[in-house]
Structure 1
Amino acid sequence: MNRQAQSAVLFLLGASLLHAATTDLYLRYVKQGLRPLVLVAGAVLIAAAVATVWYERKRARRQKQHTADHAAGHESHESHQAHGSQAHDGHEAHDGHKAHDGHDSHEGHEAHDGHKAHDGHDSHEGHEAHDGHDSHEGQEARDSHEVHDGHEARDSHEAHEDHSHREPRISWLLVLPLLALILVAPPALGSYSATRTGTALQEPLAYPALPAADPLSLSLVDYAGRAVYDHGRTLRHRQVQLTGFLALDRDGTPYLVRMALNCCAADAQPVKVALTGQVPPVLQPDTWLRVTGTYVPRRAEDPVNGGPIPFIQVTAAKPVAAPTDPYDESWNS
């Protein structure tokens, strides 16, 4: 997976988060109060994807310019070597012509002994010229070798960088959760989780006064807390309405349940209210019901963790559509 593919995955993930946050889909994962954070996370991921694309394009342009400069420098070096070789050949020819003219003039005016001395002098100069020529050729060879080594080192380093930035193909598996997020909307936790998890009822910090409505609409968590820990003092002689999904215990006891959460669906826990009285004869788990009834001072122990489960005396019950937010967040308020 190269950088372009990574940026595409980031963009799709950010777009999925924005889509979930602008609809009710995010409520399947987190509580309602986290919606702004989901929006920010989606925007940050999209910005990261755009920044990655921009950086990669800039890097490609810089690498292309570096390759062009490298090729131009290599051609300039070869041209310089060819020019130096021609200049060296011309210099040797000029030195040979001057030596020949000087030798003829010297033979016409000097004696035989002077001729020998001159021959010795010419031999010495020829030796020095030969040494200088060898030294020049050696220096050129060393310079050419060093430049060649430098080019090879840079090419090897660039090839190593390109090879080191290749990611393993297994990284494409990261796309699977993204596809699941886009294509599959998970259902809210229901009766399966509720019957395998103990009740998470907590004692309320206070019991605010209830309105005089009849029937009184209460959250299931509020009713259970008042029924257990306040012993139903604020619920007596009142018709109350509760909404939740249906779950059946192993012995067939029907529960009206809401999943309460603190942060996200991963920490959701059930709060249960047992049904008695005019319970519907056909009970289908995960069916959402609106139950009207009265408080009864009766409790049961949760078979999973032994927690308290209050009862409600049902006088009427009817199926209703699942709410937009299937989780109870009253603990957070």
Structure 2
Amino acid sequence: MNRHSQAAVMFLLGAALLHAGSTGLYLRYVKAGLQPLLLASGAVLSVGALATVWYERRRHRTRQQTHEGHVHEGHAHESDAHEGVAGEGDAHGGHAHPEPRVSWLLLLPLLALILVAPPALGSYSALRSGTALQKPYGLGPLPGSSGPAQLSVVDYASRAAYGNGRSLGGRTVRVTGFLALDGSGQPYLVRMALNCCAADAQPVKIGLTGQLPPVLRPDAWLEVTGTYASRLERDPVNGGPIPYLRVGSVRPVPVPHDPYDETWNN
């Protein structure tokens, strides 16, 4: 891989990062807050690749000018000049050590980023990982003053598990997540929470009870409207708390633009 090939790979990688960062594709890999850093990285790689091409072209022109200068120095030392130029060419070209072929492996993550968009983690991962719910520092007032309060899975689970539902004030809530069914058929509303990227995603689970649909399909995204249920159980994986929500109504919804929940216990 010569310098021009390196620049091409670096430019393609930078362009792929810019594409992922300017669309929703990056949300499959990292949380939304990292978008500026992703765009900055793509810009730096692209500019670095263009600078490498410019530097190589400039160096090539300098070599040509130096060669022409040696040729026109004088016919008396023409043979010596040719030998010096040849020796210089050998030093720069013939005896140069090429970059190792293993550097072409840099194309693999590039192809993976361009060709493969991994699906968001679902019920299979959620049921094999313990809940990531932790005690919050504080619980503020519910959003809005009337009607169902729109809460994230993490927000409702925190209020129900650690506040005994007091901060919910008897309000009806609306929570969106995907469905997971354990071995006994118990349904859970789940959202995978991110700390940094999809590699460290962990589930936060809410048990569902009450008026449930007769047919439940794992990984289906649902908007659940209901009220606080005092039932609380322990996750069999890590012993973490899993609060419950008494279901009043359920509505299927499409997969959200950002399938992960970044609302860690604030």
Q: In structure 2, which of residues 117, 120, 137 is the aligned counterpart of residue 205 of structure 1?
A: 137
Equivalent position of 2:191 in the other structure: 258
Amino acid at match of 1:235: L
Amino acid at match of 2:44: V
Amino acid at match of 2:214: P
Equivalent position of 1:172 in the other structure: 104
1:318 aligns with 2:256: no
Residue pair 2:137, 2:265 contacting (<8 A) in 1 also: no
Equivalent position of 2:7 in the other structure: 7
Q: Please state which structure has a larger fraction of its residues in helix.
A: 1
> Which has more radius of gyration?
1
Comparing 197-206 with 323-332, greater Cα deviation is found at 323-332
1:50 aligns with 2:14: no
Q: Using the alignment, how far apart are the partners of 1:151 and 1:42 within structure 2?
A: 40
List aligned pairs for 1:41-190, cutoff 5 A.
41-72=41-72, 75-78=75-78, 154=88, 156-159=90-93, 161=95, 163-164=96-97, 166-190=98-122
Deviation string 1:100-144 (CA, Å, 9 cap, x unpaired) is xxxxxxxxxxxxxxxxxxxxxxxxxxxxxxxxxxxxxxxxxxxx8
Gaps of 5+ in 2: none
Q: In structure 1, which of residues 299, 304, 323 is the aligned counterpart of residue 237 of structure 2?
A: 304
User: 1:275 offset after TM fit, Å?
Assistant: 1.0
Equivalent position of 2:263 in the other structure: 330
Deviation string 1:211-259 (CA, Å, 9 cap, x unpaired) is 3222222111111001111111122532111100111223322110011
Q: Using the alignment, how far apart are the partners of 1:296 and 1:9 within structure 2?
A: 55
Q: Using the alignment, how far apart are the partners of 2:213 and 2:178 within structure 1?
A: 13
Q: Using the alignment, how far apart are the partners of 1:149 and 1:5 within structure 2?
A: 30
Aligned residues: 265
Amino acid at match of 2:127: T
Q: State, as a whole percentage, how many aligned pairs show the same letter.
A: 62
Q: Using the alignment, how far apart are the partners of 1:178 and 1:332 within structure 2?
A: 35
Amino acid at match of 2:31: K
Q: Using the alignment, how far apart are the partners of 1:148 and 1:54 within structure 2?
A: 28
Q: Using the alignment, how far apart are the partners of 2:130 and 2:255 within structure 1?
A: 23
CA RMSD of superposed structures (Å): 2.3
Deviation string 1:41-95 (CA, Å, 9 cap, x unpaired) is 111111001101001101111222333344445843158xxxxxxxxxxxxxxxx
Q: Using the alignment, how far apart are the partners of 1:31 and 1:232 within structure 2?
A: 29
1:285 aligns with 2:218: yes
C-alpha change, 1:47 and 1:150, in structure 2 (3 Å) is: closer
User: 1:151 offset after TM fit, Å?
Assistant: 7.0
Q: Using the alignment, how far apart are the partners of 1:267 and 1:307 within structure 2?
A: 17
Q: Using the alignment, how far apart are the partners of 1:218 and 1:11 within structure 2?
A: 42
Q: Using the alignment, how far apart are the partners of 2:176 and 2:195 within structure 1?
A: 20
Q: In structure 2, which of residues 134, 155, 165 is the aligned counterpart of residue 232 of structure 1?
A: 165
Q: Using the alignment, how far apart are the partners of 2:49 and 2:187 within structure 1?
A: 50
User: 1:314 offset after TM fit, Å?
Assistant: 1.1
C-alpha change, 1:280 and 1:66, in structure 2 (3 Å) is: same
Residue pair 2:134, 2:265 contacting (<8 A) in 1 also: no
